[in-house]
Amino acid sequence: MIGALPCCSADGVAYHRCVLQRRDCLALAALPLVGACGVEPTIVDGPDAPAFAPLATTPKLALVLAAGGPRGFAHVGVLRALGELGIRPDLIVGASVGALVGAAYAAALPVAQIESMAFDFDFYSMLRWSPGSGAQLEGRRIASLLEETLAVSRFAQLRTPLAVVATDRASGQPLAFNQGLLAAAVQASCAIPGWFAPVRIRGRDVIDGDVSSPLPVTVARNLGARRVIAVDVAAHLDKPRPEGAQRYLEGDRAKRAQIDAEAQLADLVLHPYFGYWVNLTRAFRERAARAAYEDTLAHAAPLCAIAS
């Protein structure tokens, strides 16, 4: 377990539920009768259950991919730009959507395939109908997507070491996984409270990494990374706020403080801007990725210096 990080409530969940009311969460909040009520937790136990252990070698360069729901589509633009710059980290750390994208990158999928996975993914495929409960989100579909796409089942099979950051629901503390079953760890890291059921790993209910560590630089440093490049996809507080966004200012400030507590531990933080409101359309996904691609290339000199 990693040390406690700042959050806005004792269990780390109340703040996240507040954020879910914005359109930059998973953008599924508008769907009627959708939620995790009545969905049993996925139980993962035994010797293959996700776990954490120190790395055998010291990473020279870590890439940290933040949580952020649809904002995480920006990550694929960063990956394309890093490839063009010839920069390849030897450790990847991700929370929530950052863990999902990071797993594909760690498995050495071509960037074009990661883009296709991100731009074409049908979020409505995670819906299932339960008599008496209506439509519900099924987190197991995230695990199935990874297993089918990556053709690997365990962290040890990845080309690049990966750490997936989630949250212990009982304590609100961040948890890191880098051993055992990969898909279960990523599913847990993406388990947004109130929308997806938790994943019960080794007897503990594990939820969304965004609750406790939206930009998990601390995990990268604890794993020994000498240099860290982090990708922050949260809203910009220094940009004009659009109509209707003022009521979320307090939550945005709280999230910014939570992110900055770890961002200061990175050597460089990329923070692409692609507007305030987000959605699940392909047009938005491509716009976010393009903005991140251009922002990454604009930082080519410091990035190459850090990676050298």
In this prediction, residue 140 carries a pLDDT of 86
Task: Inform me whether the pLDDT recorded for 106 exceeds 60.
Answer: yes
Return the top range by mean pLDDT from 39-53, 108-122, 170-184: 170-184
Residues annotated as catalytic are 96, 208
Of 128-142, 206-220, 235-249, 288-302, the least confident: 128-142
Using the structure block, give the residue that is written with the tokens 């706020």. Answer: 241
For every residue of the chain, which 3-state class applies, written as one string? CCCCCCCCCCCCCHHHHHHCCCCCCCCCCCCCCCCCCCCCCEEECCCCCCECCCCCCCCCEEEEECCCHHHHHHHHHHHHHHHHCCCCCCEEEEECHHHHHHHHHHCCCCHHHHHHHHHHCCHHHHEEEECCCEEEECCHHHHHHHHHHHCCCEHHHCCCCEEEEEEECCCCCEEEECECEHHHHHHHHCCCCCCCCCEEECCEEEECHHHCCCCCHHHHHHCCCCEEEEECCCCCCCCCCCCCCHHHHHHHHHHHHHHHHHHCCCCEEECCCCCCCCCCCHHHHHHHHHHHHHHHHHCHHHHHHHHC
- Across the chain, what does the average pLDDT equal? 87
What percentage of the chain exceeds 70 in pLDDT?
Answer: 84
- List phi, psi (to 5°) of 207: -130, -175
* Angle, helices 182-189/97-106, rounded to nearest 10 degrees: 150
Residue 16 CA to residue 193 CA, distance in Å, equals 8
In this prediction, residue 162 carries a pLDDT of 98
Report, as an integer, the average pLDDT of 148-158: 94
In this prediction, residue 81 carries a pLDDT of 98
Residue that wins the pLDDT comparison between 155 and 128: 155
Residue 201 CA to residue 51 CA, distance in Å, equals 9
Task: Inform me whether the pLDDT recorded for 265 exceeds 90.
Answer: yes
In this prediction, residue 121 carries a pLDDT of 83
For every residue of 166-181, which 3-state class applies, written as one string? EEECCCCCEEEECECE
In this prediction, residue 124 carries a pLDDT of 73
pLDDT tens, residue by residue, 199-234: 999 999 999 999 999 999 999 999 999 999 999 999
In this prediction, residue 38 carries a pLDDT of 53
pTM score over 0.85 = yes
Nearest to 160 by CA among 205, 200, 220, 217: 220
Residue that wins the pLDDT comparison between 145 and 159: 159
pLDDT tens, residue by residue, 16-54: 333 333 434 444 444 444 455 556 788 999 999 999 999
Enter the tokens of residue 161: 């070491």
Report, as an integer, the average pLDDT of 128-156: 80
Residue 234 CA to residue 67 CA, distance in Å, equals 8
In this prediction, residue 26 carries a pLDDT of 41
Query: Are the CB atoms for 107 and 10 separated by under 8 Å?
Result: no
Residue count of the chain: 308
Residue 124 CA to residue 47 CA, distance in Å, equals 33
Return the top range by mean pLDDT from 19-23, 134-138, 148-152, 203-207: 203-207
The CA-CA-CA angle for residues 56, 143, 163, to 5°, reads 25
